[in-house]
């Protein structure tokens, strides 16, 4: 028996998916959600084998939902826009379905999900997300889960981002928010003209830089508008000189 969760903000779409799934005795629907915030909670609680996930939704889109759940499962994307039908879906997702869809197309995607479950494990969501995000970069916001809360941080509000092992600390509006993600992965997704790698452990919003100071012999640091002081490596200083015309 495969456990399925349906996530779509359109009632009609959820009804159609439920009707199509009910015709298959090996599928058990364990949750339905109409927005991304509820989806994060339900997927975490129910740990489904199969996820039918709308891409365009209010509050959180489908990609952001996947970022916030610590669960790998077979993903079938549902979308009304064919520009989301990327190669990433073919490579990493089980399938994608363009709205409106017929039963035959839906059953085809479901059969691919069954085959994926029997011949291989689900594709880790991080592989899927990296491929998709790199084709949609730069990102405009960072989503962070803190307990039961989901924070949506506009990228323009971020002062700097610090690496902490397999996590990043996002510093914005005087607060720090921890997220499980590598700094090198995030660096590929943000606007290189706005954020710069000044040190192996720091990405900084260049608009927040007030000045650069010499610190302990030949080392340097940047001072931000918030008063934060961040170390600058030699390679980071070379990049800063280019962009700030020092």
Residue 101 near residue 154, CB atoms below 8 Å:
no
Q: Which string of DSSP letters, residue by residue, matches the chain?
A: -EEEEEE-S-HHHHHHHHHHHHT-TTEEEEEEESSHHHHHHHHHHH--SEEEEESS-SSS-HHHHHHH-----EEEEEES-GGG--HHHHHHSSEEEESS--HHHHHHHHHHHHHHHHHSPPPPHHHHHHHHHHHHPSPSEEEEEETTEEEEEEGGGEEEEEEETTEEEEEETTEEEEEE--HHHHHTTS-TTTEEEEETTEEEEGGGEEEEEE-STT-EEEEETTS-EEEE-HHHHHHHHHHHT-
Residue 76 near residue 53, CB atoms below 8 Å:
yes
pLDDT band for position 89 (50/70/90)?
low
Q: What is the pLDDT of residue 120?
A: 43
Instruction: Give pTM, 2 decimals.
Output: 0.80
What rounded mean pLDDT belongs to the chain? 87
Domains of the chain: 2-134 (3.40.50.2300), 140-244 (2.40.50.1020)
Q: What is the pLDDT of residue 200?
A: 95
Residue 110 near residue 102, CB atoms below 8 Å:
no
Q: What is the pLDDT of residue 105?
A: 94
Collect all residues with Cβ–Cβ distance below 8 Å to 53 and sequence separation of at least 6: 7, 8, 39, 62, 65, 66, 75, 76, 77, 78
Residue 243 near residue 207, CB atoms below 8 Å:
no
Quick: pLDDT tens for 166-204. 899 999 999 999 998 999 989 988 988 899 999 999 999
Pull the structure tokens for residue 9: 């903000």
| Stronger pLDDT, 197 or 58, i.e. the higher one | 197
Q: What is the pLDDT of residue 45?
A: 94
Quick: pLDDT tens for 31-57. 999 999 999 999 999 999 999 999 889
């Amino acid at each position: 028996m495969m456990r399925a969760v349906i996530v779509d903000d359109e009632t009609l779409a959820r009804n159609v998916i439920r009707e199509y799934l009910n015709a298959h005795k090996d599928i058990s629907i364990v949750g339905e959600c109409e927005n991304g915030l509820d989806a994060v909670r339900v997927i975490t609680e129910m740990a489904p084998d199969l996820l039918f996930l709308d891409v365009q939704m209010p509050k959180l889109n489908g990609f952001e939902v996947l970022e916030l759940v610590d669960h790998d499962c077979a993903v079938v994307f549902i979308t009304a826009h064919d520009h989301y039908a990327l190669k990433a879906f073919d490579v990493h997702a089980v399938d994608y379905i363009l709205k409106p869809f017929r039963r035959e197309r839906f059953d085809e995607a479901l059969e691919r999900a069954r085959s994926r479950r029997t011949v291989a494990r689900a594709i880790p969501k991080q592989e899927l997300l990296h491929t998709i995000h790199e084709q949609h970069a730069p990102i405009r916001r960072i989503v962070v889960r803190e307990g039961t809360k989901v924070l949506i941080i506009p990228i323009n509000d971020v002062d700097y981002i610090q690496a902490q092992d397999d996590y990043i600390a996002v510093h914005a509006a005087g607060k720090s928010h921890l997220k499980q993600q590598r700094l090198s992965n995030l660096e590929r997704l943000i606007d290189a003209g706005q954020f710069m790698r000044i040190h192996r452990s720091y990405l900084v919003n260049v608009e927040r830089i007030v000045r650069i100071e010499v610190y302990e012999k030949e080392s340097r640091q940047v001072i931000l508008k918030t008063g934060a002081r961040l170390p600058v490596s030699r390679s980071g200083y070379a990049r800063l000189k280019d962009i700030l015309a020092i």
